[in-house]
Amino acid sequence: MDTNEYFKAIEMERSGNSEEGFLLLEKLSNEGDPLALLDLSMRYISIEGYASLVKHIEPNEIKSEELAIKAENRLSELASDGDGEAMRMLANIYLGHWHSVQKKSIVEAEKMLLRAFEANCYFAANDLATFYQGSDIKKEKFYYQEAERHGCRIVQNDNLET
């Protein structure tokens, strides 16, 4: 899954060019970019809480749900083709991190994170370390160390430092 254009749109907004960033986000959404679809699905609920100024759009629950479902479907397609990042994003959906209309399942989230890691999406190791925190110290430590080994650890846990 190529995320470069999506992050380009977000960077435009952060740098004060909210109109151009939003137009790129809409374009990407229309092209089926799952991150753009997820982002816009949340913006159609509310733009409150965004760190940078984003273009104001009127709340639209129906549009929000449609975009969220399209995003989940697109991620499922990409995941079935072996895309580890898409698997990781699906796991986050299953954990309830995105839209209330989307499927939630702890069991499916764990399976998807493990598949993402096996597909060489090493950022999934961070998610797995967090997932196992407090329930399976051996797995938590393993995935924490794997994230570190692959240079993509973003969580910090002093108890797991060796």
* pLDDT of 110 above 60: yes
Mean pLDDT of 88-98: 90
Q: Is 102 left (phi over 0), alpha (psi -120 to 50) or beta?
A: beta
Is the distance from CB of 91 to CB of 124 less than 8 angstroms?
Answer: yes
Identify whether the C-beta of residue 117 lies closer than 8 Å to the C-beta of residue 146. Answer: yes
Torsion 105-110-116-121 (CA) sign: positive
Q: Note the pLDDT of residue 29.
A: 96
What's the mean per-residue pLDDT of the chain? 90
pLDDT digits (tens, 9 = 90+) for 14-57: 898 888 999 999 999 999 999 999 999 988 887 775 655 677 78
Distance CA 74, CA 161 (A): 37
Q: Considering only residues 65 and 158, tell me which one the structure prediction assigns the higher pLDDT.
A: 65
Asked whether 77 and 44 are in contact (CB, 8 A), the reply is: no
> Helix, strand or coil for residue 155?
coil
Confidence check: pLDDT of 114 > 70: yes
For position 97, what pLDDT does the model report?
81
Is residue 69 over pLDDT 80? Answer: yes
pTM: 0.86
CB of 124 closer than 8 Å to CB of 150? no
pLDDT of residue 113: 97
Closest CA to 13 of 39, 48, 43, 52: 52
The mean pLDDT value for 68-92 works out to 96
* Amino acid type, 120: N
Task: Compute the average pLDDT of residues 104-119.
Answer: 95
What sections of the chain are H helices per DSSP?
4-14, 18-30, 34-43, 61-80, 84-94, 106-118, 123-132, 137-149
